[in-house]
Amino acid sequence: MVAIKPFKAIRPKADKVEEVVCPPYDVLEKNTIDKLADNPINFVHIIRSEVDLGEGVNPHDDIVYAKASDNLNKFQEDGILVEEESVCFYIYRQIRRGRVQNGLVGCVNIDDYVDEKIRKHELTRIDKEKDRINHFHICNAQTEPVFLFYEKSLLINNLINNYTEDNFPIYDFVTSDEVKHIVWKISDEAILQNIIGAFQEIDILYIADGHHRSASAAKVGLLKREENNGASGEYEHFQAVIFPAEELLIMPYNRVVKDLNGHSEEQFIKLLQNDFIVKKIETIEEPKQKGDFTMIIKNNVYSLTVKEHNICDDVVSKLDASILQNKVLSPLLGIEDPRTDPNIEFYGGDDMLENITDRLNNDMKVAFLLYPTQINEIISVSREKKIMPPKSTWFEPKLLSGLFVHRI
- pLDDT per residue as tens digits for the range 121-144: 999 989 999 999 999 999 999 999
> What pLDDT, on the 0 to 100 scale, is given for residue 308?
85
191, 156 in Cβ contact below 8 A? no
- Neighbour tally for 145: CB within 10 Å: 31
Mean pLDDT of 17-38: 94
The candidate with the shortest Cα–Cα distance to 90, out of 183, 159, 21, is: 183
What percent of the chain has pLDDT above 90? 93
391: alpha, beta or left, given left = phi > 0 and alpha = psi -120 to 50?
left
Using H for helix, E for strand and C for coil, what is the string for 240-308?
A: EEEEEHHHCCEECEEEEECCCCCCCHHHHHHHHCCCEEEEEECCCCCCCCCCEEEEEECCEEEEEEECH
> What pLDDT, on the 0 to 100 scale, is given for residue 236?
98
> What pLDDT, on the 0 to 100 scale, is given for residue 299?
86
- Neighbour tally for 161: CB within 10 Å: 13
Q: What is the pTM of this model?
A: 0.94
For the cut 90, the answer to whether the pLDDT of residue 313 exceeds it is no
For the cut 90, the answer to whether the pLDDT of residue 312 exceeds it is no
Mean pLDDT of 348-357: 89
Mean pLDDT of 30-42: 95
> What pLDDT, on the 0 to 100 scale, is given for residue 256?
97
Instruction: Of 139-148, 289-298, 311-320, give the lowest mean pLDDT range.
Output: 311-320
Q: Which residue has the higher pLDDT, 297 or 55?
A: 297
> What pLDDT, on the 0 to 100 scale, is given for residue 56?
86
205, 149 in Cβ contact below 8 A? yes
> What pLDDT, on the 0 to 100 scale, is given for residue 210?
94
Q: Which fold has domain 253-371?
A: 3.30.1760
For the cut 80, the answer to whether the pLDDT of residue 319 exceeds it is yes
Q: Tell me how far apart the alpha carbons of residues 265 and 247 are, in angstroms, rounded to a whole number.
A: 41
> What pLDDT, on the 0 to 100 scale, is given for residue 350?
83
Which residues of the chain form CATH 3.30.1760?
Answer: 253-371
For the cut 80, the answer to whether the pLDDT of residue 344 exceeds it is yes
> What pLDDT, on the 0 to 100 scale, is given for residue 153?
93
> What pLDDT, on the 0 to 100 scale, is given for residue 257?
97
| 407 band by pLDDT with thresholds 50, 70 and 90 | very high
For the cut 80, the answer to whether the pLDDT of residue 310 exceeds it is no
For the cut 90, the answer to whether the pLDDT of residue 194 exceeds it is yes
Distances (CA, A) of 30 to 26, 150, 273: 11, 34, 41
- Average pLDDT over all residues of the chain: 96
Which residues make Cβ contacts (< 8 Å) with residue 31, sequence separation at least 6?
none
